[in-house]
Amino acid sequence: MKGLFITFEGTEGSGKSTQAPLLVDRLREWGHTVRVFREPGGTPIGEEIRHTLKHSHANAAMTAEAELLLMNASRAQLVREVIRPALARGEVIVCDRFYDSTTAYQGYGRQLDLTTVRHVIDLAVGPTRPDLTFFLKVPLALSEERLRSRQATMPFIRDRIEEADRAFFERVAQGYDAAAAAEPKRIQIINASGTVAEIQSAIWRIVAPLVATRGVQTW
C-alpha cells in the first residue's frame, strides 16, 4: 500500500496554513490516516532550526547560503524521521511547504545559483517527492495586505524572512510561477484570492478522486 504526499506552497498570506488543516480534517472524515507537518520544522531538530531561521534575535547576519543549508537540514531530518516511514505505512502526508519553497525563496528570492539549490535539495530529499502540490496563488498586493492584517491582529512574533523587501517577494512569486510551469502535472495552481470555502472546494475537487483511487490507509 503506497501513501500519498501532498504539499502546499505559496507566498506570504496565500492561505496555506488555513487550507492545509482543512484538507487534513476532510481526509480524516473520509477515514484516512493523515499526518500534517510544516517546514521548516516537523521534528524536534527541525523546530530548533525553524527558530534559528525565523525568530532568533541572533539571526540578523545570516547569509543566504546558511539559510539554504539550514532549511534543507531541517528537511532532511523530516524526510527520514517521519515522512518516509509514514508513506511506507500507506498514510497521507500533508506538508505546509516543501522543496518548492526553497527554489522560490532561496533560489529566486535570495538569488542563489539554481543548480546549487537543486543539488542541496536532492541531497536533503533523495527520491522522496510530493505526489501533488497546491500552489496557492495571490497577487502580491493581496499577499502584502493579508500579511499586514495578520501582523496587526495576532501577537507579534518576529519572522526574519517576512522582513525582506518587495523586490524579494516579487522574485519569490516568479520562482513559483517557474516551478509550476516546469511541472504542471504535479503542481496545481489554485486561485487563492477568493473565500476560504471557495479555495477549499477547489482543492477538494482535485484531491477527492486521487485518494479514492490510490488505496491509501484508512482506519
Q: For the segment 68-91, what is each residue's pLDDT rounded down to a tens digit?
A: 999 999 999 999 999 999 999 999
Q: How confident is the model at residue 13 (pLDDT cuts 50, 70, 90)?
A: confident
The answer to the question of residue 73 being in a domain is yes
Give one word for 176, left, alpha or beta, with left for phi > 0 and alpha for psi -120 to 50: alpha
Which of 178, 6, 175, 161 lies closest to 92, judged by CA?
A: 6
Number of domains in the chain: 1
CATH code assigned at 76: 3.40.50.300
Q: Give me 163's grid cell.
A: 522582513
Domain that holds residue 130: 4-214
| Whole-Å CA distances, 217 to 79, 84, 86, 128 | 19, 15, 10, 18
The answer to the question of residue 140 being in a domain is yes
Phi, psi (rounded to 5 degrees) for 42: 90, -15
pTM of the full predicted structure?
0.93
| Averaged pLDDT, 121-139 | 97
Per residue in 196-217, pLDDT (tens digit) is 999 999 999 999 998 887 766 6
Distance from CA of residue 23 to its chain's centroid? 14
CB 53 within 8 A of CB 72: no
The answer to the question of residue 219 being in a domain is no
